[in-house]
Chain A
Amino acid sequence: GAVVSQHPSWVICKSGTSVKIECRSLDFQATTMFWYRQFPKQSLMLMATSNEGSKATYEQGVEKDKFLINHASLTLSTLTVTSAHPEDSSFYICSAHQLQGDGETQYFGPGTRLLVL
């Protein structure tokens, strides 16, 4: 299957700082990428849909000014957690949407574990 990378794999930061997470599709172009958040022992919650060359679409309850998404190219989307607080500590996973002959499939990055102290 297609390969999606995510960087960094984990980060520890102080409260109030901003953290940038990169999501890359390595062997295909992804016009659409998705950002999910997963708290311990819970399911993946969609945060936003990132579209190349346009503004991201945020899910209800997700603050767009806090979680900045930029999809500057067909292989890269970034999520910036601004002024991070301990409650933002979570596992952030991106996925990239690939069109295939019989439909579309999403491939997940390895995730970024964020710990805000």
Chain B
Amino acid sequence: GENVEQHPSTLSVQEGDSAVIKCTYSDSASNYFPWYKQELGKRPQLIIDIRSNVGEKKDQRIAVTLNKTAKHFSLHITETQPEDSAVYFCAVTGANNLFFGTGTRLTVIP
């Protein structure tokens, strides 16, 4: 199956700074790359996604970049706010099912 690696596992930033989380994957046939935000005890919430025919996508303070050649994609959060604190998971899909990264616990320090 797909092998998804996510770094870093924990990340602390000052409010207003940017945060970057990176994921690498192994299956070159993968074509859909979502990012999920999960607050404690709650379901993962899709925050942004990108498909293989696009290199970058932005939605307000959140952006995702994809490098298919290198098989990695990154989540960028700018102007971080305390409410951005959560665990973020990247995921990769090829044949319909999702394979998740190990998660990054982001803490935004006020």
Category for how many chain B residues contact A = 20 to 34
Using Cβ atoms and an 8 Å threshold, which residues of chain A touch B98? 34, 46, 95, 106
Stretch at the interface among B12-20, B40-48, B65-73, B78-86: B40-48
Using Cβ atoms and an 8 Å threshold, which residues of chain B touch A102? 51
Task: Give Cα A49 to B36, complex, Å.
Answer: 20
Task: Give Cα A107 to B46, complex, Å.
Answer: 8
Min CB–CB distance B85 → chain A (angstroms): 15
Q: Of all chain A residues, which has the CB nearest B31?
A: A103
Using Cβ atoms and an 8 Å threshold, which residues of chain A touch B93? 104, 106
Is the beta-carbon distance between B43 and A109 smaller than 8 angstroms? yes
Q: Is A73 an interface residue (CB 8 A)?
A: no
In A63-117, the 8 Å CB interface with B consists of: 91, 93, 95, 97, 102-111, 113
Is the beta-carbon distance between B46 and A49 smaller than 8 angstroms? no
Is the beta-carbon distance between A49 and B96 smaller than 8 angstroms? yes
Pick from A105, A106, A111: contact of B42, CB under 8 Å: A111
Residues of B within 8 A of A (CB): 1, 31-32, 34, 36, 41-46, 49, 51, 89, 93, 96-103
Residues of A within 8 A of B (CB): 1, 32, 34, 42-46, 49, 59, 91, 93, 95, 97, 102-111, 113
